[in-house]
Chains A and B, each alone.
Chain A
Amino acid sequence: MSVKRVDGALMAGMLKNGLACLKASEEKINILNVFPVADGDTGTNMRLTLENGLNVAKPVKELGPYLQSVSTGMLYGARGNSGVILSQLMNGFAQELARVPSADTGEVKRSLIRAYQMAYNSVIRPVEGTILTVAREGIEHIRSQVTRRTTIDQLLSMYLAEMRKTLAYTPELLAELKEAGVVDSGGLGYITIVEGMLKYLNGEVLTGAGEEIEQKAPQPSVDLSLFNEHSSFIDGYCMEFILQLLLDPAYDQDFRLPSFIKKLEARGNSIVAVQDNRRVKVHIHTKIPSAVMALAQKYGEFITFKLDNMQVQHNEHTRAVKSVKKHVPLQVITVADGDGMRELFSGAGAGDILDGGASMNTSAQEFVSAFKAADADRYLVLPNNKNITLAARQAAALSLGKKVTVLPTRSMVEGYFALAMDVPDSEDIDYRVRQMELGAENVVTLSVAKSAKDTTYHGMLVRAGDWLSFIDDEPASAAGSRIEALIAGLAAVPDIRDRETCILFRGVDTDEAEEAELEERIGKLYPDLELSFIYGGQSVYGWLVGLS
């Protein structure tokens, strides 16, 4: 197939195929994660990012506007470092093509160059041997070979071949890949997407690519207590259904939409009814759903059916209008995993605590919403994970007019120390931010988790099920038990004798007996260390230890 121009509709098909291709390889890409502990996964983060872009994109024929809408969706939906970089690749790609209804090969080439440049610029310290190198060399190595006669599918085919070459030697560029014996997972993810796009041009449509993309956006939870025995029922129900008209003679075969709508009008209002062959989609507000159902069931049966009490929604709305946002000088937004950590952060003065979950892969959109949700002069983000910092910065860049500072805390431990050093009663916001910076400084985070696989990591031979300790994300020790891994990890902290404070945050599957044992052993080993134990409830790390 030789494709000379690509427009919005074709690009939509290509990207959906790319997503389908990525989905099929998602697990394979996740496994490439060099970090031996099961947390934030590259494949999943990239998939969620692209999926969000395609979910919100408007299907238009013009390439420029279509890519713009995909790009915006991806920028907001970006999760994890690989997701942020992917969104920036798309951002550059879309910017280059912003004004064109369709693009030829030369334009696509230029946009692939712009894509990697944008991605490099978005990272403070670009690391070679990653998705960045793959995207850069992929196009730079072939740009001179692209001629007037090159078609878009040929271009993508050459691009892919070069990217695969680069991917193969990423272990030479990045020692940790070599040691783990893997190639870069983000690079592979990107290649997988481009593969899917090329396959589409070659007529190979992957399963799932044509389907509606699953809406993953969480439904806002409704406060059911708003409709109770004292409520009055004025607004009725909002009813939506798809009706399948049936040929069975038990059903009335004489279905005509205009007369059906007339009958609906006798039973409710705000009616929308459309017929697509033998299916009818209906939206109606009614106080007597049974009457509408009985009418519909004369002609067929429901494929989908949804009924909401609008009074509840109305009350929610009224409440939302009533609850005027309280103005705060500084809104501190942080990310936590674990009920104990959430409570601790909330008590220590965090204004908003985003749920990081076990994978700690909060999206840019979640931060943007958090900025919108608060009325503040300034916003301070404590991302508490290396993988979230980029998404937080991206969110800050997307939130024009909001003054956002990202204090790149690498762990919940650093986040705790930052919050604990805040002086909320000071009116000097700069001072408060500086205090929190001081808090996060010179803190060592020791974490203990179980290895999810057999691997060699930073010179340590690790078996699945071993307990590993990490000092600020660098592996420190491996042992057969959690306690031993922690004790060995402490001993590996270079200046442990100079440390004064040791706070141990207990994970959700760690018990108090373990706490008592640790208190005794650490107390004996380091009598000058001031020990505190706090329940954190975090999931992956049985113990998170802060040394200051």
Chain B
Amino acid sequence: MKNFAIICDATCDLGEELRKEYDIKVVAGHVKLPDGSEKKAMPGWNDFTKEEFYTALKAAPNSFTTSPANVAEFSEAFEATVREGLDVLCMTISSGISGAFGFASEAAAEIAKKYPEAKIVCVDSLRFGPGFGLMAIRASELRAGGKSLSETADWLETNKNRYHQAGWLDDLSFVAKKGRLTHAKAFFGTLAGVKPIGEFDYNGLTTVIGKVKGAKTAYATLLDYIEKTGEDLTNQTVFIAQTNRQKEAEEYKRLIEEKFHPKAVIIKDVYPLCAINIGPGLMAAYYAGKPISKDLSAERKILEDFAAGGKRQ
């Protein structure tokens, strides 16, 4: 059995350390800065410090834009890997959000023509950011456990809808503006005192499935939600992603560890390529569990039941 490389686009948001640890390659994306210049972007704090970046983003949220790697860039990455004698498992950001899956597939077809013996499989992760990254880590674990490229890809196809996001977004205006949020029908700005709870929908778009008042209620609601949607948490790595919410993320980590004892809980930053589309104010856990229902009705109900229960107490 031939070995395979895992190649993700940069929205998997895995920093250098995690990429090394799990041997995951990343194709850089593109960020356009307020001054008009364009930069290739890898997950990490390469061009700015975290503070500089969030200050600039807050000041001019619309002056940053992102774009995925193009066909040539995917081809280049695939070709280099194939020439090392490896097959390729390429994972991309949800096709509901970006065109990356199409570009990667085109590149894969091109390289396959040139190197008929090479096997390149593209998987649409149906997620972005930390949810996508967590899935890539799982793929790497499967590979380390001896699964073949096909087996790993099959597992991903079967299970990608099990990747959850349980957290809040203090400022929804970013997500709504950039189209990463479904049905942005009404105001999604900063809502003082209220925490919108976001989950991935079937296509990986963050959707508000409920709102709660205050951080304490939010933690309690989220823990209940993880309990009801998560599976086998003790054998999982859980990500907590945060954009400028370190204090809350640490509290959330403590609570999750106390209640679920996962293999590891990693608090990670959201790097510019994703943060530009999320904005400040994200604080969410990512984990695998039960499949997400098509219209998110089951997930909404969990929040609703919890709220109703809280009222009875």
Q: Which residues of A contact B (CB under 8 A)?
A: 347-349, 417, 420-426, 428, 431, 434-435, 438-439, 441-442, 500-501, 503, 530, 532, 534, 546, 548
Q: How far is the CA of A506 from the CA of B47 in the complex (A)?
A: 41
One of A417, A438, A532, A546 near B307 (C-beta < 8 A): A438
Task: Write the B200-233 contact mask toward A (1 if CB under 8 angstroms, else 0).
Answer: 0000000111110111110000000000000000
21 contacts between A and B (CB under 8 A): A417-B194, A417-B213, A420-B191, A420-B211, A423-B209, A423-B210, A424-B185, A424-B187, A425-B183, A425-B186, A426-B300, A438-B307, A442-B213, A500-B215, A500-B216, A501-B193, A501-B213, A503-B193, A530-B214, A530-B215, A546-B193
Q: What A residues does B186 contact at CB under 8 A?
A: 348-349, 422, 424-425
CB pair B304–A349 under 8 Å, yes or no, is no
CB pair A501–B214 under 8 Å, yes or no, is yes
One of A434, A439, A532 near B213 (C-beta < 8 A): A439
Q: Closest CB-CB distance, A440 to chain B, in whole Å? A: 10
Does B24 reach chain A (CB closer than 8 Å)?
A: no
Q: What A residues does B192 contact at CB under 8 A?
A: 420, 501, 503, 532, 534
Known: A420-B193, A421-B211. 16 other contacts (CB 8 A): A347-B187, A349-B187, A420-B191, A420-B194, A423-B209, A424-B185, A425-B183, A426-B300, A431-B304, A435-B210, A439-B211, A441-B311, A442-B213, A500-B213, A500-B217, A530-B215
Q: What B residues does A438 contact at CB under 8 A?
A: 213, 307, 311
Q: Closest CB-CB distance, B290 to chain A, in whole Å? A: 21
Q: What B residues does A435 contact at CB under 8 A?
A: 210-211
Q: Which residues of B contact A (CB under 8 A)?
A: 182-187, 189, 191-194, 207-211, 213-217, 300, 304, 307, 311
Q: What B residues does A425 contact at CB under 8 A?
A: 182-186, 207-208
**Which are the 9 A-B pairs with shortest beta-carbon distances?**
A425-B183, A532-B192, A424-B186, A500-B214, A501-B193, A349-B186, A420-B194, A420-B191, A347-B187
Q: What B residues does A501 contact at CB under 8 A?
A: 192-193, 213-214
Q: Closest CB-CB distance, A523 to chain B, in whole Å? A: 16
Q: What B residues does A423 contact at CB under 8 A?
A: 208-211
Q: How far is the CA of A223 from the CA of B213 in the complex (A)?
A: 42
Q: How far is the CA of A441 from the CA of B194 in the complex (A)?
A: 13
Q: Closest CB-CB distance, B191 to chain A, in whole Å? A: 4
Q: How far is the CA of A18 from the CA of B304 in the complex (A)?
A: 53
Q: How far is the CA of A434 from the CA of B187 in the complex (A)?
A: 19
CB pair A532–B207 under 8 Å, yes or no, is no
CB pair B184–A421 under 8 Å, yes or no, is no
Q: What B residues does A500 contact at CB under 8 A?
A: 213-217
Q: How far is the CA of A419 from the CA of B313 in the complex (A)?
A: 24
One of B210, B211, B214 near A548 (C-beta < 8 A): B214
Q: How far is the CA of A386 from the CA of B187 in the complex (A)?
A: 27
Q: Closest CB-CB distance, A447 to chain B, in whole Å? A: 17
Interface centre among A423, A428, A503, A532, by most chain B C-beta atoms within 10 angstroms, is A423
Q: What B residues does A503 contact at CB under 8 A?
A: 192-193
CB pair B193–A532 under 8 Å, yes or no, is yes
Q: What B residues does A349 contact at CB under 8 A?
A: 186-187
A423-B211, A425-B184, A425-B208 as given contacts; A348 in contact with B191, CB under 8 Å: yes
Q: Closest CB-CB distance, B168 to chain A, in whole Å? A: 13
Q: How far is the CA of A534 from the CA of B213 in the complex (A)?
A: 17
Q: Closest CB-CB distance, B194 to chain A, in whole Å? A: 4
Interface centre among B208, B211, B311, by most chain A C-beta atoms within 10 angstroms, is B211
Q: What B residues does A424 contact at CB under 8 A?
A: 185-187
CB pair B189–A347 under 8 Å, yes or no, is yes
CB pair A417–B193 under 8 Å, yes or no, is yes
Q: What A residues does B207 contact at CB under 8 A?
A: 425
Q: What A residues does B183 contact at CB under 8 A?
A: 425
Nearest-neighbor residue (CB-CB) of A498 within chain B: B216
Q: How far is the CA of A532 from the CA of B195 in the complex (A)?
A: 14
Q: Closest CB-CB distance, B195 to chain A, in whole Å? A: 10
Q: What B residues does A439 contact at CB under 8 A?
A: 194, 211, 213
CB pair B193–A530 under 8 Å, yes or no, is yes
Nearest-neighbor residue (CB-CB) of B295 within chain A: A427
Nearest-neighbor residue (CB-CB) of A413 within chain B: B193
Q: What A residues does B300 contact at CB under 8 A?
A: 426, 428, 431
Q: How far is the CA of A426 from the CA of B208 in the complex (A)?
A: 9
Q: What B residues does A417 contact at CB under 8 A?
A: 193-194, 213
Q: What B residues does A548 contact at CB under 8 A?
A: 193, 213-214
Q: Closest CB-CB distance, A515 to chain B, in whole Å? A: 14
Q: Closest CB-CB distance, A419 to chain B, in whole Å? A: 9
